């Protein structure tokens, strides 16, 4: 196997830092270019008014998946060495529900708030202040939270493991689902809420 | 569709932008075996700042202390370097596409005061949710989804479900 370079020791910390900054540059550039630095555009996804966020996310996922599994198939990349967040149903379901609530109220998620704040959007800077307050609230309640939600660690679970399918088949299914969703999204844009109140 | 404002250049095609983002994500997988992320950097900067102000306070907070007590400096991390990149990349795009106007973005039917409240409260909830779940839209949902991680998909679906439901309740703020 050739990659990931860092995990296999082919590059050092300096290479890691360089990679991270370059990736961040393009990440930020794309966020601003696609309108992900605009809270109106982000919140609109939850009203079915503008599926832009979903289009960006899904096409990113599909692109990464195709490239990653091609590299894996060609024997270049060891996918087992790619970081994977451990599954903890309570944490990710409750965390996701709280996060989604905050995202539609605040109009941003962390990455998009950084991009929007950099382009001098005042609401994004306030959002980041709120984010800091939220971190503090989480930290002071950590003992109670960790006992309640974070006990059931299921380890590094993948969808292919859950459905007992090979990586290739599972990613194919995900790509097909994403393509189907694309078609559906294009047809339904602006139809969820008939008119502005 | 929400278009870019008149003084700005139009937004680029979302599929094209997504493909670009996907290539970057693949690049980080291939080179570093890590993905994109944003909330981690904010958390580290928060722990760092608080530790500057009062190390004894941070030492008493189990969660924050984990960050400042590891062998590497709290800011010496994959995601904080990425943060620097994101800021510079956003600046370049912001200037090139004339999106640097100082403004408060909000729904047409709401006031600045209400928007200040929604932005702040939203930030609190997003931080809480991200720390609980172990990541945010980029680190957990996008990166996780692309590696077929169950955690990422569960998180993504929960975010979207809550977003759709709460959207209706607060429609005055955005529609």
Boundaries of domain holding A124: 13-188
- A121 - beta bridge partners? B103
Does residue B70 register a pLDDT over 70? yes
Take residue A178 and report the two structure tokens written for it: 């994403």
- On average, the pLDDT of chain B sits at 95
State whether B119 and A127 contact (CB < 8 Å).
Answer: yes
Q: Within an 8 Å CB–CB cutoff, is residue A24 touching chain B? A: yes
- On average, the pLDDT of chain A sits at 91
- Determine, yes or no, domain membership for A1: no
Band the pLDDT of A40: cuts 50, 70, 90. Answer: very high
Where do we find the tokens 């020791």?
Answer: A9
Least confident segment among A87-101, A156-170, B13-27, B95-109? A156-170
User: Would you list the DSSP string of B71-138?
Assistant: SS-TT-SHHHHHHHHHHHHHHHHHHHTT----B----TTS-HHHHHHHHHHHHHHHHHHHHHHT--II
- Residue with the larger pLDDT of the pair A164 and A186: A164
- Determine, yes or no, domain membership for A3: no
- Residue with the larger pLDDT of the pair B88 and A10: B88
Query: By three-state DSSP, how is residue A3 classified?
Result: strand
Whether residue A115 contacts residue B127, with contact meaning beta carbons closer than 8 Å, is answered with no
Tell me the nearest-neighbour CA distance from B79 into chain A, angstroms.
Answer: 7
- Determine, yes or no, domain membership for A196: no
The whole-number pLDDT of residue A144 equals: 87
- A158 - beta bridge partners? B149
Does residue B40 register a pLDDT over 50? yes
- Determine, yes or no, domain membership for A6: no
Instruction: Mark B140-159 as b/e (b = at least 16 C-beta within 10 Å).
Output: bbbbbbbbbbbbbbbbbebb
State whether B21 and A30 contact (CB < 8 Å).
Answer: yes
Does residue A47 register a pLDDT over 70? yes
- pTM over 0.90, yes/no: yes
The whole-number pLDDT of residue A2 equals: 86
Overall domain count for chain A? 1
- Determine, yes or no, domain membership for A2: no
Residue of A5, A18, A20 to mutate, testing the B interface (most B Cβ within 10 Å of its Cβ): A20
Does residue A179 register a pLDDT over 60? yes
The whole-number pLDDT of residue A197 equals: 44
Residues of chain A with Cβ-Cβ distance to B117 below 8 Å are none
Tell me the nearest-neighbour CA distance from B72 into chain A, angstroms.
Answer: 12
Q: Determine the distance from the C-alpha atom of residue A118 to the mean position of all C-alpha atoms in its chain, rounded to a whole number.
A: 20
State whether B123 and A45 contact (CB < 8 Å).
Answer: no
Give the pLDDT mean for A2-13.
90
B142 vs A24: CA distance, rounded Å:
14
Does residue A44 register a pLDDT over 70? yes
Give the pLDDT mean for A164-185.
86
Whether residue A3 contacts residue A78, with contact meaning beta carbons closer than 8 Å, is answered with yes
The whole-number pLDDT of residue B150 equals: 93
The whole-number pLDDT of residue A151 equals: 66
The whole-number pLDDT of residue A22 equals: 98
Whether residue A83 contacts residue A142, with contact meaning beta carbons closer than 8 Å, is answered with no
Q: Within an 8 Å CB–CB cutoff, is residue A69 touching chain B? A: no
- Determine, yes or no, domain membership for A154: yes
CB atoms within 10 A of CB A168: 12
- Determine, yes or no, domain membership for A51: yes
**Which long-range contacts does A165-168 make (Cβ < 8 Å, 24+ apart)?**
A167/A69, A167/A72, A167/A79, A167/B148, A168/A69, A168/A73
Give the pLDDT mean for B64-81.
94
Tens-digit pLDDT profile for residues A123-163:
999 999 999 999 999 999 998 888 776 667 888 899 988 99
Take residue B161 and report the two structure tokens written for it: 């479900």
**H/E/C letters for each residue in A83-125?**
CCCCCCHHHHHHHHHHHHHHHHHHCCCHHHHHHHHHCCEHHHH
- Determine, yes or no, domain membership for A103: yes
The whole-number pLDDT of residue A103 equals: 97
Q: Within an 8 Å CB–CB cutoff, is residue A184 touching chain B? A: no
Tell me the nearest-neighbour CA distance from A155 into chain B, angstroms.
Answer: 10
The whole-number pLDDT of residue A150 equals: 64
State whether B146 and A133 contact (CB < 8 Å).
Answer: no
Q: Which of A8-12, A152-156, B31-35 has the highest mean pLDDT?
A: B31-35
B3 vs B22: CA distance, rounded Å:
23
Burial of B2 per CB tally in 10 Å (0-12, 13-18, 19+): middle
Q: Tally DSSP H helices, then E strands, for chain A.
A: 9, 0
Residues of chain B with Cβ-Cβ distance to A108 below 8 Å are 119, 122-123, 126
Q: Tally DSSP H helices, then E strands, for chain B.
A: 9, 0
Does residue A77 register a pLDDT over 90? yes
Portion of chain A with pLDDT greater than 70, in percent: 96
The whole-number pLDDT of residue A185 equals: 78
């Amino acid at each position: 196997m050739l990659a990931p370079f860092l995990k296999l020791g082919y590059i050092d910390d300096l290479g890691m830092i360089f990679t991270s900054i370059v990736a961040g540059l393009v990440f930020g550039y794309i966020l601003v270019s696609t309108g992900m630095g605009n809270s109106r555009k982000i919140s609109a996804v939850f009203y079915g008014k503008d599926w832009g966020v979903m289009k960006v996310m899904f096409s990113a996922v599909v692109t990464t998946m195709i490239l990653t599994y091609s590299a894996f198939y060609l024997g270049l990349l060891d996918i087992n060495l790619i970081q994977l967040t451990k599954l903890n149903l309570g944490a990710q379901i409750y965390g996701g529900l709280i996060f989604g609530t905050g995202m539609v109220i605040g109009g941003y998620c962390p990455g998009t708030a950084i991009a929007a704040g950099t382009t001098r959007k005042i609401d994004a800077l306030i959002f980041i202040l709120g984010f800091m307050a939220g971190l503090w609230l989480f930290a002071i309640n950590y003992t109670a939270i960790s006992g309640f939600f974070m006990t059931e660690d299921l380890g590094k679970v993948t969808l292919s493991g859950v459905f007992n399918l090979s990586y290739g088949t599972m990613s194919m299914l995900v790509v097909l689902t994403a393509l189907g969703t694309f078609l559906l999204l294009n047809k339904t844009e602006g139809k969820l809420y008939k008119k502005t109140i | 569709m929400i278009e870019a404002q008149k003084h700005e250049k139009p937004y680029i095609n979302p599929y094209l932008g997504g493909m670009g983002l996907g290539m970057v994500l693949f690049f980080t997988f291939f080179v570093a075996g890590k993905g994109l992320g944003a909330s981690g950097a904010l958390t580290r900067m928060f722990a760092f700042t608080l530790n500057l102000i009062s190390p004894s306070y941070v030492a008493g907070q189990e969660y924050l202390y984990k960050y400042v007590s590891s062998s590497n400096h709290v800011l010496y991390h994959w995601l904080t370097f990425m943060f620097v990149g994101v800021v510079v990349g956003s600046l370049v795009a912001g200037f090139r596409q004339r999106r640097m106007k100082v403004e408060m973005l909000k729904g047409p039917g709401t006031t600045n005061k209400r928007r200040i409240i929604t932005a702040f409260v939203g930030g609190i909830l997003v931080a809480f949710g991200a720390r609980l779940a172990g990541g945010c839209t980029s680190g957990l949902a996008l990166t996780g989804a692309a590696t077929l991680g169950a955690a990422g998909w569960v998180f993504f679906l929960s975010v979207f479900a809550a977003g759709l439901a709460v959207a209706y309740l607060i429609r005055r703020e955005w529609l």
